[in-house]
Amino acid sequence: MRPVSQRQQGASHVKKIIPALLLGLAAVASLPSHATPILTTINLDTVYAGNTPDGPAPWLIATFTSNTGSNTGKLTLTSVVDDSDFLQGLSSKKSALGWGFFLDNEIATITCDSSPGSNCTSNVLWDGGYNAGPLGKNWNLAFGWGVNSRFESGDTAVYDITFNSALTDSPFVTNPNDDAHGWLSVAHVQGITGECSGWIVAGNGKDAAGDGPCTSVFITEVPEPPLLGMFGLGALMIGLFAGRRRRQQQGC
């Protein structure tokens, strides 16, 4: 038997490698395209109606993270208001929400990520239109906290969201409803110093005309007459009565 030359050995080796390379290329071609990160930050820093919250703007911050092609994402809500300010609301489907958004991708599920310190809402609704006071009733993602679990300064709430379809971009968009005037998000801040409240918004919408800082209403009391003045008035009345009586007696 003739010995196998080096050339023949090399050719045989190449023949074995080529099918493997072809299989590898096919596998690479079948992989999905590289996902692009989605990072959305929403700053609520404008007073739409009512009074200005305590502390510097933004007073509330929402952050959403995901990837294109994914149908899941994480939403983090953060309160940076000062003093006694808080969010509450949504005690029923008809009552005003605490914090609302508009999404263009339907939600399948939303669950609280029970991270340490996370103050998740008492209520979260996403299957209809919800009341945002002066900004209309067509916000389709609404959060509300109870009296005993108010969303206060320094609080965070983290949620894992599953959507019905894969994301191509951020699902958080400006509210297309005419009553909402094109804002990205809305919240009702209560407990502002002076017992006031205000509706704040995020985005580049229109018709925001807040009333400015909260001012306490002082009742101006009507001062009572001085004590000496009261005595003088009494003496005058007695004198008039005595004079009238004398004239009546002289006329008899």
What is the reported pLDDT for 239? 55
Express as a percent the part of the chain with pLDDT over 70: 72
Contact present, 117 and 152 (Cβ < 8 Å): no
Asked whether the predicted pLDDT for residue 19 surpasses 50, the reply is no
Asked whether the predicted pLDDT for residue 201 surpasses 60, the reply is yes
Beta-carbon contacts of 195 under 8 Å, excluding residues fewer than 6 positions away, are 214, 216
What is the reported pLDDT for 84? 93
What value does the mean pLDDT of the chain take?
Answer: 81
Asked whether the predicted pLDDT for residue 165 surpasses 80, the reply is yes
What is the reported pLDDT for 166? 97
Asked whether the predicted pLDDT for residue 99 surpasses 60, the reply is yes
SS3 121: coil
Q: What Å distances lie between residue 107 and 29, 121, 190, 200, 213, CA to CA?
A: 31, 17, 28, 25, 37
What is the reported pLDDT for 180? 74
What is the reported pLDDT for 49? 97
Q: Is the pTM of this model over 0.85?
A: no
Distance CA(40)–CA(33), nearest Å, equals 22
- Residue carrying structure tokens 């489907």: 93
Mean pLDDT over 34-60 rounds to 96
Contact present, 87 and 178 (Cβ < 8 Å): no
Please indicate whether residue 185 or residue 113 has the higher confidence score (pLDDT): 185
Please indicate whether residue 30 or residue 203 has the higher confidence score (pLDDT): 203
